[in-house]
A = this chain, B = another copy of it.
Amino acid sequence: MLLRILELVGIAAFAASGALVGVTKRLDIFGVCVVGVFTGVGGGIVRDVLLGIHPPTALGSWPILGTAFGISLLVFYVHFAVHRLRREILVLDAVGMGLFASTGAVIALDHGAGPLASCLIGGTAAIGGGVLRDVLVNEVPLLLQKDLYAVPALIAAALVVAVSESGAPNNIALVVGTVFATTLRLLALWRHWSLPGPRIPE
């Protein structure tokens, strides 16, 4: 139950970030909602396509689609207020990322994927929405450029796989993965940690 609510919180945060980008690109109301909804559910859809879950769960879920759509609509109308909440959205987004990475890995294991594939599918579920958002609005995906985002997602998925393979119940694996990824992401935001870029002489 708590998991279900946290999932919707994560989707809402993802959708808000997508809709904000849509507003910045001056898309119309439908475009803003499409980019918002896609950012919210895109990671889960890619996960399900890779695992052969047909049709992808998110496409048939009123709570998920309703949340993503409602938040996108809200952002379209009150984007000024939302801009002021950017910090809060970043925190919620970190929760969503950790949760998606962890649930993605568990779902992959449940569908018979091996440990390595489960790590990667968990990571993909966490970052897929953001990558789709940036491809749609014609930007080089932000998370490829700087910022510690995908690394916590991948580590969390690996943790979940390790804990789950060690025989512990999935719930414990989920909590460990989510808490770890969210904490690492928030620490990275707070301390401005980033990865090195290539050394290219000017």
| Chain A contact residues, CB within 8 Å of chain B | 22-23, 25-32, 34-35, 45, 49-52, 54-56, 59-62, 65, 76, 79, 108, 111, 113-114, 116-117, 120-121, 131, 135-141, 143-146, 150-151, 194-198, 200
Question: What are 26 A-B residue pairs whose CB atoms fall within 8 Å in the complex?
Answer: A26-B197, A26-B198, A26-B200, A27-B145, A27-B198, A28-B146, A28-B197, A29-B198, A30-B195, A31-B145, A34-B150, A49-B49, A50-B54, A50-B55, A50-B59, A52-B54, A52-B55, A54-B111, A55-B121, A59-B117, A59-B120, A60-B114, A61-B116, A131-B136, A135-B136, A136-B144
A22 with B117: CB separation less than 8 A = no
Residue in B30, B51, B76, B136 whose CB lies within 8 Å of A140: B136
What residues of chain B lie closer than 8 Å to A54, measured between beta carbons? Answer: 50-52, 111
Number of copies of this chain that the complex holds: 3
Main secondary structure of the interface of A (DSSP, over half): helix
Given A30-B150, A52-B55, A59-B120, output 10 extra A-B contacts at Cβ < 8 Å.
Answer: A26-B198, A28-B194, A28-B195, A49-B50, A56-B117, A59-B116, A61-B116, A65-B120, A138-B138, A138-B140
